[in-house]
Chain A
Amino acid sequence: MSDPFLSQKDEIRRRLEERYVGGVPHNRALNLRIVDYRPEHLSLALPYREELVGNPETGVLHGGCITSLIDATCGGAVIMSLVAPRRTATLDLRIDYVRPALPHQEVICEAHCYKVTRHVAFVRATAHHGDMASPIATSSGTFVVFRDEGRRTEDGESA
């Protein structure tokens, strides 16, 4: 018996790169990188860059770009949980900053879309520096999934 995900794994990666991580202007501007992907799960990395620093005295990344990383990863996890491509949009996103990010280190976000109903997807995410057990931020979000496939043909990029 063949696993439908494994047989399409390369194609799914290509689509994520082209249409989401590289195809969404702000995701591209942040140089987001795919770390891992599987059904219902997505993990993206935000590379450290001086331009994204929020406090020049500590050299730590601004919370705003971590918000964008978490939003992008959660939206991507929703795409990874849908059978067919759909347009999605963030309804709400809560982020708890449980400890300060460290300077000069990339941030990784792991998101899990743990439930999808007909119109809504529920996601949890954790941002860390490589050790999931030592998070910088924990997050939960809800997304609306549009079923108007007749009128819109684009893939599920989150707005």
Chain B
Amino acid sequence: MRVRDALAAVRETGDFTAIQEVIPYARFMGITAELVDGDVVGRMRYSDHLVGNPTVPALHGGTLGALMESTAIFKLLWQGETTGVPKTINITVEYLRGARPEDVFARAEFTRHGRRVANVRVFAYQDDPERPAAVATAHFLLVQD
């Protein structure tokens, strides 16, 4: 299945499994998404290889960045404002507290959504969305083809 077909399937069914199937890295990381009250919620399933500090223990900071970037892309694709996979211009991740070795969730908000560029804020959390483990600000170049 091509990315485009997977996207069409996701839009039709709201089931993000198809997109995970076509993105090898999403499978490797256990990153998926689901629709909760109409909003895209990213999820990274815990696995031992995601750990960055085995002593604390805490998840690797890079994995939180990966989840947040992926969640922003999933939401942009879901909303259909970009026909192809958007290109990440930049991402800034602020780490607020260590993420425990458990599943992590993420939600994205568009702070500005233009024709070419989307400004996105993403929050990564574990059990309490009000206490995020990390927050990211990212810009994406939208693809219209």
Contact = CB atoms under 8 A, between A and B. Distances in A.
Contacts of A75: 61
A73 to B, nearest CB: 10
Interface stretch (B32-40, B88-96, B109-117, B119-127): B88-96
A39 interface: no
Interface residues of A, number: 42
Interface residues of B, number: 43
Interface in A20-54: 23-29, 50-54
Interface of B is mostly: mixed
A69 interface: yes
Contacts of B62: 26, 64-65, 67-72
A52 B95 contact: no
Interface of B: 2-3, 22-29, 31, 48-56, 58-63, 65-67, 69-70, 85, 87-95, 98-99
Interface of A: 23-29, 50-57, 61-65, 67-72, 75, 89-97, 100, 152, 154, 157-159
5 contacts: A25-B50, A64-B25, A67-B62, A71-B62, A97-B90
